[in-house]
């Protein structure tokens, strides 16, 4: 079997056009969607991600408030800054770029954003809602994964799904959403201590790889016809590699394009979520 590759660019473009039209409608109704982007320190990768988010927002008509804070900011000062943004009625969504410097406690920072402005979907209230029949805010990369799964025409209910990785941004929330009452899959979370990696993968209808370990998943680990989504990224020899070996395309039915970033889906889903929250405010 030769896998079909998800066309991330076409999906991304369709999402961009949809967001342009939703932002225009909101503006006609007198609401300016406005995203506050908080960057702490000067990590070059975070700076690149934030710049791309700003470009995307500008393309579709979402206003941006960029706040750059010192690497050495205290937890108390950061929480105060977030509280100020949260109370500002002109701001409809807030995102604190992760990871934060290690002296800061991310969980507490994410809780300081009110659930109604939490475009990342990482506030505990929003995370818990992923397990219900009506999730409120789905974290951006997970929303992208959900969208490509729909394109594969897969019936998630009752399917065996392996999620490789249990990180805050992708693996953890992906497992909550897919095993929850809205998607009803049977989910196994695999991580660095898991013993039966190959057995679990081989028994999976869907594999979501979010480990950041180059080419960890090889074709002998994948069932014929499985749907494989690779959002893992690492740069072992300076160039981007996914978690999934390209030869997996010989056995999968659908797959993300090998060694290609899933970033376009994450970015487009962020726009969609910013608009969702801005629309909810006036509903
Ligand atoms: N850093 C890398 N990806 C993300 C993301 O989706 N949200 C936030 N807040 N930080 C990130």
* Model confidence, pTM: 0.97
Tell me if 273 CB under 6 Å of ligand 1: no
- What's the number of CA atoms in the CB half-sphere (13 Å) around residue 83? 7
Cβ-in-10-Å burial (0-12, 13-18, 19+) of 36 comes to: buried
Q: Nearest to residue 90, comparing CAs of 268, 278, 279?
A: 278
Tell me how far apart the alpha carbons of residues 176 and 22 are, in angstroms, rounded to a whole number. Answer: 28
Annotated binding site for NADP(+): 165-167
| CA 95 to ligand 1 centroid distance, Å | 8
Phi then psi for residue 272, to 5 deg, are -60, -45
Percent of the chain, pLDDT > 70? 100
**The tokens 């079997």 sit on which residue?**
1
Q: What average pLDDT score do residues 134-144 get?
A: 98
Provide the β-strand partners of residue 48: none
Ligand 1: nearest atom to the Cα of 270: 6
Q: What is the pLDDT of residues 193-238, one digit of tens each?
A: 999 999 999 999 999 999 999 999 999 999 999 999 999 999 998 8
What is the average pLDDT value for the chain, to the nearest integer?
A: 97
Q: What is the pLDDT of residues 65-80, one digit of tens each?
A: 999 999 999 999 999 9
Q: Which domains does the chain have, with CATH numbers?
A: 29-114 (3.40.50.10860), 138-263 (3.40.50.720)
Tell me if 268 CB under 6 Å of ligand 1: no
- What's the number of CA atoms in the CB half-sphere (13 Å) around residue 263? 13
Tell me if 204 CB under 6 Å of ligand 1: no
Tell me if 96 CB under 6 Å of ligand 1: yes
């Amino acid at each position: 079997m030769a896998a079909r590759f998800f066309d991330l660019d076409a999906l991304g473009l369709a999402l961009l056009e949809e967001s342009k039209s939703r932002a225009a409608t909101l503006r006609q109704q007198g609401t300016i969607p406005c995203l506050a982007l908080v960057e702490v320190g000067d990590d070059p990768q975070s700076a690149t991600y934030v710049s791309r988010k700003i470009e995307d927002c500008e393309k579709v008509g979402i206003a941006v408030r960029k706040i750059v804070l010192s690497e050495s900011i205290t937890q108390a000062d950061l929480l105060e800054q977030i509280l100020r943004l949260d109370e500002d009625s002109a701001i409809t969504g807030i995102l604190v770029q992760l990871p934060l410097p290690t002296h800061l406690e991310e969980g507490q920072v994410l809780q300081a954003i009110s659930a109604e402005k939490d475009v990342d979907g990482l506030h505990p209230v929003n995370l818990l809602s992923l397990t219900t029949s009506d999730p409120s805010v789905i974290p951006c990369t997970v929303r992208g994964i959900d969208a490509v799964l729909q394109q594969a025409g897969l019936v998630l209910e009752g399917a065996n799904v392996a999620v490789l990785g249990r990180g805050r941004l992708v693996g953890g929330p992906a497992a909550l959403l897919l095993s929850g009452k809205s998607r009803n899959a049977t989910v196994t979370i695999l991580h660095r201590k898991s013993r039966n990696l190959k057995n679990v993968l081989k028994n999976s209808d869907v594999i979501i790889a979010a480990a950041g370990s180059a080419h960890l998943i090889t074709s002998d680990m994948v069932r014929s016809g499985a749907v494989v989504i690779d959002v893992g990224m690492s740069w072992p020899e300076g160039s981007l590699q996914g978690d999934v070996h390209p030869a997996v395309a010989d056995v999968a039915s659908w797959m993300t394009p090998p060694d290609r970033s899933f970033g376009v889906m994450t970015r487009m889903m962020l726009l969609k979520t910013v608009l969702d929250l801005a629309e909810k405010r006036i509903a």
